[in-house]
Amino acid sequence: MNLQMPGDLAHSYKSPSQQTRVVSEAWGEENLFCPCCDSNSLTRSAPNKEAIDYVCPRCDDPFQLKSHATWFAAKIVDAAYEAMKRAVVTGQTPNLLALHYDRTQWQVINLIVVPRFAYSLSVIEKRRPLGPNARRAGFVGCNILLSNIPPDARIPVVQDGVARDPDAVREQYSRLRPLEKVRHEARGWTLDVLNVVRGLGRAEFSLADVYASAAHLAWLHPANRYIEPKIRQQLQVLRDLGLVEFLGRGRYRTT
C-alpha cells in the first residue's frame, strides 16, 4: 500500500473539501483492498452515489470513505439523520473507511474500517437542524459516535503511518462477521455490552463489573426495564460469538 496520496490532483480545485474528496478517493481507488474477502482492490462508485464511494468487485460489499486532516477522536460528521437511521434498521449501512491524512504532505497517517454490521442506533447522534439562514435550512444531520463502537470493530488498516498486513485486517474483520446474523435490535445490545467490556481494560472481569454500567446501558436502551437480565443474556451471546469466555461464578475472560 502506497501511503503517498496524489496531491497534485488538488491543484484544480479551490475548495479544501473538494480537494480532500478528489485526492482521497483517487488514492483509495489505487490502494484500498477489501477486508471482507481476498480482493486486492475496490472499484470506485459512480459520481454522487449517496453514501457509497467504493464497491468490492468480488463480494459486492459497499464502502463509504470519510477523510479528514485531523484524527476522528470521538465522532464523524455524516449525512441525514433519518436516512442513516433507516440504513441501520434495515441493515443497509456500508462499511466505513475513516482516513486521517497529513495535508501538508498529502500522506496517509491512519485508516480504520468499521464493518457494516457493527452499527447500532446508539452509534448515531442526531444533530440540531440547520438554521433558517443556512442553504439547507432545517436539514437534520447526524454524527457517527466512534466512542460507541467497540474497539474490535474499529479495525486499523494504517496505524501511525504504517500499513498493516491485509491478511491481519481480514482476520480481524472475519472474527466479527457472526454479528451479521444478529438482528439489528439485538445487535445494538450486543455491541453496547461488548463496548462496556472492552472499556474495562482488562483480560478478566466479573458480572458485577458490567453491572456497574447498567445506568449507561439503560440510557442507551430506555425501552428496556430489565437491564441486568439483558446484560447476562448479552454476555452469553458474546460467549457464543467467541468474544468472551465464561470462567464460572460470574467471572469472564476476553478472547
| The pTM of the whole model exceeds 0.85 | yes
Q: What does the pLDDT read at residue 42?
A: 97
Tens digit of pLDDT for each residue in 163-184?
A: 999 999 999 999 999 988 888 7
**CATH value at residue 84:** 3.40.210.30
What is the number of other CB atoms lying within 10 angstroms of the CB of residue 16?
11
Same domain for 109 and 12, yes or no, is yes
The domain boundary residue, chosen from 111, 142, 174: 174
Question: Is there a single domain that holds both residue 190 and residue 168?
Answer: no
pLDDT of the residue at 218: 95
Domain extent for 23: 7-174
104 with 190, same domain?
A: no
Q: Do 70 and 115 reside in the same domain of the chain?
A: yes
What pLDDT, on the 0 to 100 scale, is given for residue 185?
A: 76
Of 118, 142, 174, at which residue does a domain stop?
Answer: 174
- Contact call for residues 139 and 125 (beta carbons, < 8 A): no
Q: How far is CA 193 from the centre of its chain?
A: 16
CA 126 – CA 84 distance, rounded (Å): 10
Determine, yes or no, domain membership for 215: yes
What pLDDT shows up at residue 91? 87
Residue 179 counted as domain residue: no
Residue 163 has what pLDDT?
98
Report CA dihedral (193, 197, 200, 201) to the nearest 10 degrees. Answer: -140
Same domain, 223 and 161: no
Last residue of a domain, one of 132, 148, 174: 174
Residues in the chain with pLDDT < 70?
A: 47-50
